[in-house]
């Protein structure tokens, strides 16, 4: 899509974030922005040269958020959790849902917990750190170097929520009412420390005490993992809230299909490293594999794109064929996000059958989940998309 020419610095910065591919028309009169697999919002530059870009997913914001949530918690996410109008952007929808989850989490009061503190105090509290006291002021009785347990809201759960709310406030595209509500959330959690940017997010074990926080914590992690946007050229500042739809679809399909296969038997694995050659110099990583002990039963590759009417593209077939060859399988599977299932491809001189399946993300959630179960059953029963039997291992 062509737009009026952007400032050169902003165009380079926008391209380097990976959100879109930026080029110029012949003569340089317009700037052409070509969408990739990234959706969300990003802002580059500052002042008069600032450029703000919003990219909406083709599947709709509600369906995007459902995929994100269902990949993390298959039992706790419903379609009505992620209601969003057709004009709602990704940032606005995520912020609104985050606020709703925060209100539920904090409705019964802010969670407190014990945190160990090391401080210098005029009197004894908790335990004296004798070694630190001697190093800091030998022979001087006060102040004291002490260690004590403080009952506080400055715990990992509240730090995650406060940091996520603060990070959302740095992103454009929020309605004034949403921005005001986020500001109130930050104020209510002001005694919780902000997490250090770039540092690993704290691991939190869900228990009876913090279970009411769980939905809000899931969203907080999503927000913090996707609001870090960098201009790799170093020419301009950048901030945003971005999702790679390839990764979103792969995460969701992996979680759903592995659960369906494991309900039948065996064990599923994600991102299984794999060597193509005996020396291990050529390595690959499969999206989904299904195992019975040390034996691989099936390999599946997720494709966030439409299956062409003529069947899978050669590069897709080459990829799953390489997986089958390395794993010693006589069949492999491709699962697309749209299109019509095509007949299986039988590889000449190898006898390997490559099957294509489709999970239409335009369907209702119940129908989508039913399709996942159907695909799992076909893989397990040894039938392809047409219902025709294919050779299983050892046959």
Supply 64's token pair.
Answer: 């995007």
Clarify whether residues 36 and 137 are in a common domain.
Answer: no
Peptide bond into 25 cis (omega under 30): no
Give residue-wise pLDDT tens across range 21-32.
Answer: 888 766 666 778
In a domain? residue 25: yes
Whether 200 is covered by a domain: the verdict is: no
Asked if residue 306 belongs to a domain, the reply is yes
What stretches of the chain show up as alpha helix (H) in DSSP?
8-16, 61-72, 90-106, 130-136, 156-168, 176-188, 214-226, 245-264, 314-327, 365-381
Is the residue at 136 inside a domain?
A: yes
**Residue 70 located in a structural domain:** no
Q: What is the pLDDT of residues 175-193, one digit of tens each?
A: 899 999 999 999 999 999 9
Q: Report the alpha-carbon distance of residue 220 to residue 106 in Å, rounded.
A: 14
In terms of domains, do 43 and 138 share one? no
Counting the structural domains of the chain, the total is 3
Q: Is the same domain home to 51 and 117? A: no
40-54, 109-123, 273-287: range with lowest mean pLDDT: 40-54
For range 364-376, the mean pLDDT: 94
Going by their DSSP bridges, the two strands 331-339 and 295-307 should be labelled as parallel
290 domain-assigned: yes
Same domain, 294 and 367: yes
pTM for the predicted model, two decimal places: 0.74
Q: What gap in Å lies between CA 150 and CA 135, rounded to an integer?
A: 24
Shared-domain flag, residues 127 and 42: no
300 part of a folded domain? yes
Task: For residues 377 and 301, state if they share a domain.
Answer: yes
- Separation CA 59–CA 392 (nearest Å): 35
Residues 6+ apart with CB under 8 A from 238: 13, 17, 42, 43, 44, 229, 230, 231
Domain of 282 in residue numbering reads as: 265-381
CATH of residue 329: 3.40.1350
Pair (29, 134) in one structural domain: no
């Amino acid at each position: 899509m062509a737009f009026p020419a952007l400032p050169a610095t902003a165009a380079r910065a926008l391209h380097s974030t990976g959100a879109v591919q930026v080029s110029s028309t012949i003569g340089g009169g317009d700037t052409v922005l070509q969408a990739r697999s990234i959706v969300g919002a990003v802002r580059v530059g500052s002042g008069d040269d600032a450029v703000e870009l919003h990219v909406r997913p083709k599947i709709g914001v509600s369906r995007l958020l459902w995929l994100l949530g269902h990949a993390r918690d298959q039992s706790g996410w419903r379609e009505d959790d992620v209601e969003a109008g057709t004009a709602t952007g990704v940032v606005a929808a995520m912020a609104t849902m985050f606020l709703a989850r925060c209100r539920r989490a904090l409705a019964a009061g802010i969670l407190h917990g014990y945190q160990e503190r090391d401080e210098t105090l005029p009197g004894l509290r908790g335990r004296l750190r004798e070694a630190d006291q001697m190093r800091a002021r030998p022979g001087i009785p006060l102040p004291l170097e002490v260690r004590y347990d403080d009952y506080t809201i400055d715990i990992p759960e509240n730090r995650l929520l406060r940091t996520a709310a603060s990070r959302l406030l740095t992103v454009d595209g929020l309605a004034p009412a949403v921005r005001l509500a986020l500001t109130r959330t930050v104020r209510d959690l002001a005694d919780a420390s902000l997490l250090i940017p770039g540092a690993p997010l704290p691991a939190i074990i869900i228990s009876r005490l913090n279970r009411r926080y769980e939905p809000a914590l899931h969203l907080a992690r999503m927000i913090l993992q996707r609001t870090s946007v960098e201009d790799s050229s170093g020419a301009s500042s950048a901030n945003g809230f971005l999702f790679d739809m390839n990764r979103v679809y792969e995460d969701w399909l992996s979680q759903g299909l592995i659960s369906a296969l494991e309900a039948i038997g065996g064990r599923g694995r994600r991102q299984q490293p794999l060597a193509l050659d005996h020396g291990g110099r050529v390595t690959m990583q499969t999206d989904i594999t299904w195992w019975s002990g040390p034996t691989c039963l099936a390999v599946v590759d997720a494709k966030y794109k439409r299956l062409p009417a003529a069947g899978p593209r050669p590069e897709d077939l080459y990829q799953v064929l390489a997986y089958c060859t390395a794993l010693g399988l006589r069949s492999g599977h491709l699962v697309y996000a749209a299109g019509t299932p095509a007949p299986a491809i039988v590889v000449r001189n190898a006898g390997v059958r490559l099957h294509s399946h489709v999970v239409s993300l335009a369907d209702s959630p119940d129908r989508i989940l039913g399709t996942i179960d159907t695909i799992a059953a076909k893989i397990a029963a040894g039938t392809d998309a047409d219902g025709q039997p294919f050779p299983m291992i050892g046959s």
